[in-house]
Structure 1
Amino acid sequence: MLDLFPEAEKPVEIIPAKKLPARAAALYVAPADHFQTRPVDELRLGFDGISGDFHAGPTRRSGGREPWYPRGTEMRNERQLSIVAADELAIVAERMGLAQIKPEWIGANLVIEGVPQLSMLPAGTLLFFRDGVTLKVDAQNGPCRIAGRSIAENAGMADIEAGALLFPKMAKRLRGVVAWVEKPGTIRVGEEISARVPEQWIYQA
């Protein structure tokens, strides 16, 4: 590791950047009036996100994830796309006692294959699609009761409220990541992806 810090200070371990091959296994879009998505063969992306999607736009309104702002404050939209992995959804489904959790139930736009522990991708990870689109991962997507309620209703759970509350507990660090469009274009089902994970370190003041 390159010694960037004085010997008197605690050294910071730098984990090198890496590239991972991946694939766009499935694509989804949400109607403008609801967060649940439906499968499509391609996604047309602009700098505002997915054309016509529920989460499209250069800005969004703050919610429970941003307690430092009054709810409803206009802010940069870094949540243009929701990305999940089928293996992680299978784990959550098993924990909740369900046969499956479909990506569209929780408003996913993209299912990626080939990236181990997708939900643990760090902020700043770049997803380069073969045909030219680039997405930038902003953060892990925290599971919420709204998605939990959707799962409970679609799966036919006997107690909808209990299901809504169970999902945030069972899906922590397994609900995928959110990303925004760095370079627009069109994504197609089956397209190859190069995931470029940046250098990582643990900041300790």
Structure 2
Amino acid sequence: MAADMTGNRVLDRGDRVAAQRVTGAVVRVYATSAPEDFRTSRVPALKLGFEGIAGDRHGGFTRRSSGREPWYPRGTEMCNERQISILSCEELAEVAAEMDLPEIEAGWIGANLLMEGIARLTRIPPRTRLVFAGGAVLRVDGDNAPCRIAGRAIAEQFPERDGLDLQFALAARGKRGLVGYVERPGVIRPGEEVTAHIPEHWLYRSD
């Protein structure tokens, strides 16, 4: 770690990650059938507006804070940066293998987009743009931390197994996918190419 002329420590050149583009494809698209339902079902196409998916559980320009935002009183109205849930085929397969399950269907845990071909999707940094061939653009807010709600949804599929809710929270850490919001409305369809425009970024450390 180097220091500048004032004595403040600055990041070494090695902490800089250059901008890059990575291409993958949409495998399936999903939406909720009712706002109160956490799970999603496959749909032929995903129509996106600036509010996200109209009628979806996570749609809307704003949302209410939850346990993910302990700095706000629960239920505080805030900007909705979690309109869309994006998962990876490869990462889901890894999580299923870690949990000794035959599969984890993306809709069980509330996915809107299931993609393939982008390695380590969950590690893609915030500010990345996901540009779809049909014209829609999503902006990545960050990774989606696994929770027991999703774990319970998986456990419902395998009632003969105990403890899957907690096991998922551990196995899916760093592989649960991304959340993001609509930057440019459009329609996303299965089979569509998607390019992740990953910006130059720095690996921040406070020491």
TM-score under structure 1 normalisation?
0.92
Which one of 25, 30, 33 corresponds to residue 32 of structure 2? 30
Inter-partner Cα distance in structure 2 for 1:6 and 1:107: 50
Q: Determine what percentage of the aligned residue pairs are the same residue.
A: 47
Inter-partner Cα distance in structure 1 for 2:72 and 2:51: 22
Secondary structure at the counterpart of residue 75 of structure 2: coil
Secondary structure at the counterpart of residue 54 of structure 1: coil
Counterpart residue number, 1:54: 57
Count, aligned residues? 199
Is the counterpart of residue 63 in structure 1 residue 48 in structure 2?
A: no
Counterpart residue number, 1:198: 199
Counterpart residue number, 2:173: 172
Inter-partner Cα distance in structure 2 for 1:60 and 1:180: 12
Root-mean-square deviation over aligned CA pairs: 1.5
Superposed CA deviations along residues 34-63 of structure 1, whole A, max 9, x for unmatched, are 010000110000000012211100111111
Superposed CA deviations along residues 153-175 of structure 1, whole A, max 9, x for unmatched, are 0233433xx21111111110010
Is the counterpart of residue 40 in structure 1 residue 43 in structure 2?
A: yes
Superposed CA deviations along residues 94-135 of structure 1, whole A, max 9, x for unmatched, are 111211100000000001111000010000110111111000
Is the counterpart of residue 78 in structure 1 residue 89 in structure 2?
A: no
Secondary structure at the counterpart of residue 125 of structure 2: coil
Deviation at 1:6?
5.0
Secondary structure at the counterpart of residue 183 of structure 2: strand
Structure 2 gap ranges (5+): none
Secondary structure at the counterpart of residue 50 of structure 1: coil
Counterpart residue number, 1:188: 189
Counterpart residue number, 2:10: 10
Q: Give the letter for the 2:173 counterpart.
A: K
Inter-partner Cα distance in structure 1 for 2:91 and 2:65: 27
Secondary structure at the counterpart of residue 127 of structure 1: strand
Q: Give the letter for the 1:189 counterpart.
A: P
Inter-partner Cα distance in structure 2 for 1:157 and 1:141: 27
Inter-partner Cα distance in structure 2 for 1:48 and 1:157: 40
Counterpart residue number, 1:91: 94
Question: Structure 1 residues 190, 79: closer, same or farther in 2, change over 3 A?
Answer: same
Regions of 4+ moved over 4 Å: 5-9
Inter-partner Cα distance in structure 2 for 1:113 and 1:95: 19
Counterpart residue number, 2:21: 19
TM-score under structure 2 normalisation?
0.91
Counterpart residue number, 1:127: 130
Counterpart residue number, 2:107: 104
Superposed CA deviations along residues 146-192 of structure 1, whole A, max 9, x for unmatched, are 00000000233433xx2111111111001000010000011111111
Deviation at 1:10?
3.4
